[in-house]
Structure 1
Amino acid sequence: MTKSDYTSLRMGVDYYPEHWDRSLWEQDALLMKQSGVALVRIGEFAWSRLEPREGEYDFAWMDEAIDLFGSHGIDVVIGTPTHTPPRWLTTKYPDVLPITPNGGVFQPGVRGHRCFNSRSLRRLGERLIEQLAERYAQHPAVIGWQIDNEFSMLDSQSEQATEDFRDWVYRKYGTLERLNQEWGTVVWSGEYSEWNQLTPPLGGSPYQNPSFLLDFARFQWDSIVDFQQGQISAIRRHCPDHFITHNFHSYPQRLDLYAVGEELDFASFDYYPNTSPEKAATSPYSGALSLDITRGIKRQNFWIMEQLSGSPGGWMPMWRMPQPGYIRAYVWQAIARGADTLVHFRWRSATVGAEQFWHGLIDHSNVSGRRLAEFVQTSAELQRLAPLLGQTSPKAQVAILMSPEQLEALRIQKQADSFDYYENIKTYHRVLTKLGIDCDVIDWRQPLDAYQVVIAPHLYLLDDEVAERLSHFAADGGTLVTTARTGVKNLQNVCEMKLLPGLLADCTGVTVRDYDPLGSDIVRLDDREGEQFACSQWADILEPADGGRTEVLATYGGSVFFAGEATITRHEFGRGETYYIGTHPEESYLRGLLLGIMQKVGIPYIEGLPASVQVSVRSGESGSYLFILNLGREPRRIKSLGAYSDVMRGEGLLSGKLYNGHEIELEPYGVEIFRLIL
């Protein structure tokens, strides 16, 4: 298998042969093959079985498992096991364990107990990975690797992390004089006079110097990238034709997703949409954003390395069990938004350990039930449609910019009660999703040439490079949407002595004369047609630029001191235009505003899309394919959106019933896929 083959559409399972008696392996592999399992992920938590004592390797069990899967035509992805260092390692090399911000030790017994700066972990982990890569480089069943598991920020205060942080800061600033100036350490007598005075933020207080805290986060991002790169190098020395990925999870992550993703062949995500009835109205939209974020890490299709198979539990009380059709519907949602391969967690519910109640496709009874049957149905559908859908991907004309630096800076200094960077991105994305508009969510420093509309929420930190890119985008004919708290600081997390929105003032055609951190308080918003809406979180009081090219779209109303002042504007800039949204309006206002923008620039949309119904398009050389998904518990109806042939049930893939203006009925968790007839 070559790297290009990872774009094929398939389904698999996560399997832990070390957890099960060998007598089960053969029957599991047989049932997997009969169920449509094309690949398994193994090994990511198995260090103690692969190296039971330092330097003593036992690969016999993994050889047997991989050979077994290979004999049944099931491919294998190996997870590197550094997420769970074994007890012999943490006992002999205690530098492996992170030191928490309160001075405690992150002890073994759960998982993730590894300091990314530990030299012992790097040396011993990479040595084991080199052994694995050399051993399985030529095995026909092994197709790729997953690095570690679910990276996240640890804020380790270990001796090695402290030393590495000093080195990182020294490389960035060179002198203590410059460091003190850039961080503004004169406040509270925080100036450094010797390098050994510089430590991580011991105690983890949120009220420390914000420039220092942001740089400590950046240092950790670089440490994780370096930790990963050591593993990637060890694998690529022996397995140049195998793909390498990592399984991101649970957004928002403080992690710099884009830096971690840079050296990967593709990104992966662990997708657990919430099954609880009270989350039914929001979970499909939160999930859609997570999938679009994952696609944006590499700006290409991705994998799901852990897909929900049953009720999660263990880390929290068990969720509701997925209703019939739920597993299938959310598989197709992921595919519709760019997933190529979906690996379900897990094959069978564990009988031991902390995750016994994180349910798999098969329950503890080891009796196949409806969840496995639903997997079998979905896998068969995917196999049948793979010749059409393979090599296709979403093609969005709208992008939302996301930035780990904004997320971290706004976490360090919360701007107002209820003001939340990620939740606000979620609002904009949800509005677009409800209009049936595909949207990329990309790193804020990525090129913008592919888009007609770019939404850039809360560019709290801003530099010349980003400001110039956004200004050029608008001047060249694009539509730029910016929001409150733009241009507040430079990249050192230091406030700029400029009228907001700082470097984007010319581009947006406004300045902020005053502001009011509204928090959870509700203020009235009046549009030009006299309609009234609610807004909250923040109130920028805008001063349109002279020259008549800035149009006021909405003002504040009610009894606030800034009633009648501008809050939302449109500005002609070059061949394009910019919108400035100085508050956080209720969703219905944003819907009307964004709908008007899409109509103006000619981006297709859908009015009246029923609640819980999502629409996405994947396109490629084989054509364009429309996915209509009901991700809710109630039946829905929708008119067909143009002339399409039904490929989900079509004979010979392309000869299904033609829809053109007819109404389509969607059962709960119903899935329809159509091919556009040109």
Structure 2
Amino acid sequence: MNKHANEVQVGVVYYPEHWDASLWEEDARLMKETGVRVVRLAEFAWSRMESSSGVYHFEWLDQAIDLFHKYNIRVVLCTPTNTPPRWLTELRPDILPRNADGSITHPGVRGHRCYNSEPLQFYGLRIIEKMTQRYGGHPAVIGWQTDNEYWMIDCHCDACSDKFREWVKRKYGTLEALNREWGTVVWSGEYSGWSQVGVPYGGSRHQNPSYLLDFARFQWDCIEEFQRSQIDVIRRNCPHHFVTHNFHTYPQRLNLYQTGADLDFASFDYYPNTSPDKQSTGPYSGALALDVTRGIKRRNFWIMEQLSGSPGCWFPTWRAPYPGFIRAFAWQAIAKGADTIVHFRWRTAVMGAEQFWHGLIDPSNIPGRRFAEFAEFCGEVNALSGKLQGTAPKHEAAILLSHEQLEALRIQPQVEGMDYYENVKDFHRALTKLGIGCDVIEWTQPLDGYKIVVAPSLYLLSEEIAASLERFAAAGGTVIVTNRSGVKHMNNQAAMLPLPGLLAKCTGIRVEEYDPIGLDSHRVVNAAGHSFMVSQWCDIISLEGAEAIAWYDEDFYSGVPAVTVNSFGQGRVYYLGTHPEEAYLQELFTKEAEAHGIQMFPGLPEGVQVALRSGESAAYLFVMNLSRQPHQITLPASCHSVLYDKKRQETLSLEPYGIDILELPALV
């Protein structure tokens, strides 16, 4: 992997094909003066590189890359398969995806390609072969982005149907096993021949949930295979370059972890919402998205597109970024483990669908307030790059995230108002407001090194995962399990066990009945007599070794345990039979963080976040006011600000969107 992949640096997305070549050198010169170190090129430029089948035009791209090299700006190239050119879709219309209703996704937008299309594979790999051979040895090129913003297409074309049938054959072997594992006897859906197996035409949400979950798993495998074929070409021709992909817009039905497995590191396209009415939630949703991205590879990552101005195109334009907003949220990404921040885009487009997705410079081509803020950020990052290089977030709390749970609960929503990812947000927000650093990791990953693990709604559950959580708790860890856990086997069929199924032993409880209260709210009371509001779901719990620590305070189950804790080996397992408000979660997390000696920053003002990046010689505490109000926070001791090169006393004042970075001794 290229040595520049791990540098802390700032870049921009640039489209030389959109601008007259007379502008290129002035743009490159201004980038250099501003402190830009890297540009991303060519993700949508297939038609400009190959105007018709086998007719290539790389001279313009040669010129652009050579120009950036002249100004010592590094280049990340993209495989262009997100936008097959019109000559190709005319030549091979079977590249285009077919929707569940039989309609075709036509050219003119982007992403108009089926991952399983053999023509796309042939022509796509051919252009990638040409690009990698041509630029594999260019000194400016350091890495590659695959495609652009993968998502689940749910293609129902003949190629997908045939491939899905073969996938099902490999997984189940016999029709008898398939009928058993999908439960097809319901509604007389049994298969008597393999020719009857295909994609779920029609798109009805009433189709077999085991079948639909497997169709999602099939698509995950197809995207992995599609990307791997591209990565194989890149690694063969560019062995010293890194490979990444720009994930986007969480939650994604796409399995991030499976798609990320072959990458050197993950990337994310980060567009925090600029609207004033989003300021109480946006910074926390953003913090979760950044932690999710870091968890894809469990290492530092890149931001491949960072907000530079108001987004707008096919939707009404957002509010202008408040002064300091662009800089603050870019620093938030670095604080959470981003090593490179690539802003989208250098100049706002003057043509095409993204004309009002504002970049750093407006179409007037006169740099303004946003550009000045970006230049300030570039200078700060370049000044601190050497200190921050080699540092990374290191946490003792983790939330388990599962795309299989996400998809299964999408297929069969449990109750109005219950959303798997939104619940993950609630747990993560409570931890973030306490200043407790948290990893978000794939639910099957090892738990070594953690002290607290939150496992929301393990609706699908295997014996392996249950055993992993038991081992973690027995060794002294704290596990927090929530309602709707242990409901089903991994084939999406209900487990004939009392809830929480395979977790009954470690939780020490049994769910006798449940009340899906949805958008209604109920009240629980804890041992100290304090009341808290809860929503979504109420498990009616009987104790089988656990201790009740909160009880329902109304309805026919008033006085019944709502939250329990069970001593298990040297650790503890909590069970949340309902979804408590934030105040309750903060109280629970505070108690467990204190018990485990986990560093906290309780009492953070609304919108203020802290994050720690640690290295061998020092640690850096990022203190970020991601709000429009000034705030003060109390530090554990006086510290040296490496951002402003001055000593900070124990009380730190931050203006709206103010940032500081404090140097601490290296963590053991």
Whether TM-score is above 0.5 comes out as: yes
Which residue number in structure 2 is paired with residue 23 of structure 1? 22
Q: Which aligned pairs between 1:181-580 and structure 2 lie closer than 5 A?
A: 181-546=180-545, 550-558=546-554, 560-580=555-575
CA contact (8 A) 1:644 1:677 kept: no
Shift of 1:267: 0.1
**1:101 Cα deviation from its structure 2 partner:** 1.2
Match of 1:62? Answer: 61
Unaligned runs of 5+ in 2: none
Residue 394 of structure 1 aligns to a residue whose secondary structure is coil
What is residue 674 of structure 1 aligned with on the other side? 662
Q: Is the CA contact (8 Å cut-off) linking 1:389 and 1:622 kept in structure 2? A: no
Contact 1:643–1:676 at 8 Å: present in 2 too?
Answer: no
The corresponding residue for 1:602 is 597
Quote the residue 1:75 is aligned against: 74
Partner of 1:99: 98
C-alpha separation in 2, matches of 1:596 and 1:3: 44
Q: Does 1:663 align with 2:656?
A: no
Q: Secondary structure at the match of 2:52?
A: coil
1:621 aligns with: 616
TM-score, normalized by length of structure 2?
0.99
Structure 1 residue 590 displacement after superposition: 1.1
Distance 1:641 1:59 in 2: 57
Deviation at 1:677, TM superposition (A): 4.5
Letter in structure 2 aligned against 1:556: Y
Deviations 1:177-198 (A, max 9, x none): 1100100000001111111111
Q: Deviations over 1:134-155 (max 9, x none)?
A: 1101100000000000000010
3-state SS of 1:672 partner: strand
User: In the alignment, residue 362 of structure 1 is paired with which amino acid?
Assistant: I
**Contact 1:520–1:537 under 8 Å retained in 2:** yes
Cα separation, 2, equivalents of 1:472 and 1:269: 33
Match of residue 637 from structure 2: 642
Shift of 1:639: 1.3
Distance of 2:636 and 2:326 partners within structure 1 = 26
Distance apart, 1:675 and its partner CA = 0.4
Distance 1:620 1:517 in 2: 47
Q: How far apart, in 2, do the equivalents of 1:10 and 1:240 lie? A: 22
The two structures have a TM-score, normalised by structure 1, of 0.97
Whole-angstrom distance in 1 between the partners of 2:661 and 2:636: 12
In 2, the alpha carbon distance for the partners of 1:642 and 1:564 equals 45
Q: 1:95 is aligned with what amino acid?
A: D
Q: Is the 8 A contact 2:4 2:142 kept in 1?
A: no
How far apart are 1:643 and its partner, in Å? 3.8
- Contact 2:435 2:600 (8 Å CA) reproduced: yes
Do the aligned residues in 2 keep the contact of 1:11 with 1:39 (CA within 8 Å)? yes
* In structure 1, C-alpha distance between the alignment counterparts of 2:636 and 2:384, rounded to whole Å: 21
Kept in 1, the 8 Å contact 2:617–2:665? The answer is no
Provide the alpha-carbon RMSD of the alignment: 0.8
Kindly indicate whether the alpha-carbon contact (under 8 Å) linking 1:145 and 1:243 is maintained by their aligned counterparts in 2: yes
Q: Does the 8 Å CA contact 1:402/1:441 hold for their aligned counterparts?
A: yes
Instruction: Report whether the alignment pairs 1:588 with 2:583.
Output: yes
d(CA) in 2 for partners of 1:393, 1:356: 36
Distance 1:259 1:58 in 2: 35
For 1:438-472, what per-residue CA distance to the aligned partner results, in whole angstroms no more than 9, with x for missing partners? Answer: 10000000000010000000000000111111110
Distance 1:68 1:461 in 2: 53
Give the letter for the 2:377 counterpart. T
One-letter amino acid matched to 1:438 = G
Aligned partner letter, 1:671: I
Measure the CA separation in 1 of the matches of 2:648 and 2:95: 61
CA positional deviation for 1:533: 1.2
- On the 8 A contact 1:634/1:667 being kept in 2, the answer is yes
Query: How far did residue 324 of structure 1 move?
Result: 1.0
- Any idea what the Cα deviations from partners look like across 1:113-151, whole Å, max 9, x if unmatched? 010000000111011101100110110000000000000
| Match in the other structure for 2:121 | 122
The one-letter code of the counterpart of 1:613 is V
Rounded Cα–Cα distance in structure 1 between residues aligned with 2:626 and 2:436:
17
Which runs of no fewer than 5 residues in structure 1 stay unpaired? 651-655
Q: Secondary structure at the match of 1:237?
A: helix
| Whole-angstrom CA distance in 2 between matches of 1:642 and 1:460 | 44
| Superposition deviation, residue 658 in structure 1 | 4.8
Match of 1:653 in 2: none
Percent of residue pairs bearing the same amino acid type? 58
* Secondary structure of the corresponding residue to residue 431 of structure 1: helix
Partner SS, residue 505 of structure 2: helix
Counterpart code for 1:532: S
> How far is 1:604 from its partner?
1.4
Contact 2:640 2:648 in 1 (8 A): yes
Instruction: Map Cα deviations across residues 49-107 of structure 1 (whole Å, 9 max, x no partner).
Output: 01110111111111010000001100000011000000011111111100011110000
Structure 2 CA distance for aligned equivalents of residues 641 and 112 of structure 1: 50
Three-state SS of the structure 1 residue aligned to 2:406 is helix
d(CA) in 2 for partners of 1:644 and 1:171? 60
For 1:608 and 1:238, the matched residues in 2 are separated by: 53
Residues 358-403 of structure 1 show CA distances to partners (whole Å, capped at 9, x for unaligned) of: 0000001000111111111111100111111110000010000000
Partner of 1:657, secondary structure, is strand
Aligned to 2:135: 136
The amino acid that maps onto 2:52 is R
Q: Amino acid of the residue matched to residue 548 of structure 2?
A: V
Given that 1:388 and 1:622 are in contact with CA atoms closer than 8 Å, whether structure 2 keeps it comes out as no
- Once residues 447 and 142 of structure 2 are traced to their aligned partners in structure 1, the CA distance between those partners, rounded to angstroms, is 34
Q: Which of the numbers 624, 628, 640 marks the counterpart of 1:633?
A: 628
Deviation readout 1:635-669 (Å, 9 max, x if unpaired) = 0111123242111111xxxxx3153xx21110000
Q: Is the 8 A contact 1:392 1:620 kept in 2?
A: yes
* Most deviating of 263-272 and 511-520: 511-520
SS in 1 for 2:321: coil
| Partner Cα separation in structure 1 for residue 160 and residue 637 of structure 2 | 58
Distance (whole Å) between structure 2 residues aligned to residue 196 and residue 47 of structure 1: 37
- Superposition deviation, residue 221 in structure 1: 0.3
Distance in 2 separating the partners of 1:19 and 1:371: 22
Post-superposition Cα deviations, 1:224-283, rounded to whole Å, max 9, x if no partner, equal 000000100011111011000000000000000000111100000000000001001100
- What is the rounded CA distance, in whole Å, between the counterparts of 1:264 and 1:307 in structure 2? 20
